[in-house]
A and B are shown apart, each in its own frame.
Chain A
């Protein structure tokens, strides 16, 4: 069976895997944004806390994904949950670090003008710092997405959802019928999904960034 024939015959499964892959990535990014941006907002003013947040989330990223997923089986079992948790953990560093850097690097004159006119610290954070740091934060979100969209494939190892199933199936019986087609489908599907995802995020970044600070 050629690659094209394989795609034609199995497109329902492939589309299904792609949608599930997308869903788990999007879900993980959404949770990671809440945690990462929150962590950044809580720590950016204190250099020790900020460093602690960056090193901790950075350390997560050094844990091999197979090891992390294995460890997560104990508390979360098999399936989507351990994959989701692992992806959130891997997505934290770029979002947290960019939030901290973005909030810290807002023009001091803007902050001084805001404080000087009588805006409270909370208002300066929400009305000035966050919108001005947003392009930097969002760049972190895009990097995180690219990282975890690939890692999500390994989720199939703990019976997670997504295109990883194609790859693992194919690799599991390599040499058998359509095994190469499966690996190719999974790999190319992830690359394509990553490109489309990033394109969509670029659009969201543009829409959510004030015209006054757009590049």
Chain B
């Protein structure tokens, strides 16, 4: 695991957090308690109106809880000045909300400027963040409307990271992008998170996105009541009840395979046979199964890298994939 760059994440702890709006019989969020471990991505997933966004916004106090306590790194956030508190938390929303009248560098650099950083330090930070989110350095001088939606959301993520927060809140950040861009942004974000190791609360209604992004997933019922809070693998293997199972939907076994990287599977030695299909060790068991079905072969060779000149390091057959689906990540 590489050393995190910048400030690492802090643990977030919610205890009996409730939000009631005046004039409404039912609370919007009822007595939620959960621990979000430092440096992990926790996904809140649930249907629209279940209170997942409300729960998230109580962490940065854009919505004030009616009762309960929220701590970050042991500090009760309700004792802090709300604006000061939010400066320690990156915030990314689906509508992005870039400032259209400011150049990209001023969008990213606004918070550092408010915090009184020197101009040269801000410029260096902007350059560093643009590189981190995979945008060319000369985009700093552009205006938001000159960027595509996907590029804008990369700037949104860079802006949220600008003042090096320990915590990031992300509300359906990739929800408004097309499926291909979304997949791209998700992968880039996972790579970026391996570098920055922030504590991330990620809200989505898309369970497949939750599986992909989350170190842990909290499946929420209405009023933000937690139906199950566990790792993606554990939720797929043993959904707590029918409600959670309905979220997993059809194809649960395939989803489980999609979480399993071939590098985590104990491979069989490579047979001498020529002409077998090849797949990189970075791919998932689901990709391998797809390749087997596509090529009509029940064995595939696993290589250490992409490309034709990669070295074969083992093989995988259909029985091993079935074993993996059954929960034994290894040679049957």
Contacts and interface: CB of A to CB of B under 8 A. Distances in A.
Interface of A: 107, 109-120, 123, 127-128, 131-132, 210-213
Nearest to A127: B110
A67 B192 CA distance: 70
A105 to B, nearest CB: 13
A137 to B, nearest CB: 13
10 contacts: A110-B97, A110-B100, A112-B95, A116-B62, A117-B160, A118-B85, A118-B111, A119-B111, A123-B114, A131-B101
Interface of chain A: mostly helix, strand, loop or mixed = helix
A119 B102 CA distance: 15
A112 B83 CA distance: 13
Interface stretch (B86-94, B215-223, B272-280): B86-94
Given A113-B156, A132-B101, A210-B101, 15 more contacts: A109-B96, A110-B97, A113-B97, A116-B93, A117-B90, A118-B83, A118-B85, A118-B86, A118-B87, A118-B111, A119-B110, A210-B102, A210-B143, A212-B143, A213-B100
Contacts of A110: 97-100
Contact of B145 (A112, A123, A128, A212): A212
**Chain B at the A interface: SS class:** mixed
A109 B97 contact: yes
- Interface centre among A109, A132, A210, A212, by most chain B C-beta atoms within 10 angstroms, is A212
A116 B201 CA distance: 14
Interface string B230-272: 0000000000000000000000000000000000000000000
Contact of A109 (B90, B95, B110): B95
Contacts of B93: 109, 112-113, 116
A119 B95 contact: no
B224 interface: no
Interface in B102-132: 102-103, 110-111, 114
B101 A212 contact: yes
Chain A to chain B: the 4 pairs with minimum beta-carbon distance, closest first = A113-B97, A212-B143, A116-B91, A109-B95
